């Protein structure tokens, strides 16, 4: 039983910034990759950014240079700093984490509830 709680979404003007936060809680032995996906109306969910437990990062081409993902492993949290926001960044953003609840167990993928980000003038 693992829960991901997201916060930080909202309305921002083009060129503005937002910071999304996601905290994982529950039965957590270890966490591997944590990241962010987004889904716009009429579009399928796409990866925005992901960071492994070893701090390796991957970004969607559309957000490179503008978004930064970071982790606080001690708190099982992942952040997404979003700068220079564009209208096309408008979407519901979902936190994602691969979690091992027991040392001998498997990794399972968990999702947050989503937080709306709207970029509009």
Digit-coded pLDDT (tens) for 20-59: 999 999 999 999 999 999 999 999 999 999 999 888 999 9
Burial label, 6 (beta-carbon count in 10 A; 0-12, 13-18, 19+): buried
- pLDDT bin (cut points 50, 70, 90) of residue 117 is very high
- pLDDT tens digits, residue range 93-115? 999 999 999 999 999 999 999 99
Contact 80, 36 (CB under 8 A): yes
């Amino acid at each position: 039983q693992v829960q991901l709680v997201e916060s930080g979404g909202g309305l921002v003007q083009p060129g503005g910034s937002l910071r999304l936060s996601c905290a994982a809680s529950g039965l957590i032995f270890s966490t591997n990759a944590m990241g962010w996906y987004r889904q716009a109306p009429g579009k399928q969910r796409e990866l925005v950014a992901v960071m492994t437990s070893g701090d390796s990062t991957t970004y969607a081409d559309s957000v490179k240079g503008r978004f930064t993902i970071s982790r606080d492993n001690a708190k099982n949290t992942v952040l997404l700093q979003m700068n220079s926001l564009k209208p096309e960044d408008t979407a519901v953003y979902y936190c994602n984490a691969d979690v091992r609840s027991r040392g001998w167990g498997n990794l399972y993928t968990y999702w947050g509830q989503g937080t709306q980000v709207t970029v509009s003038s």
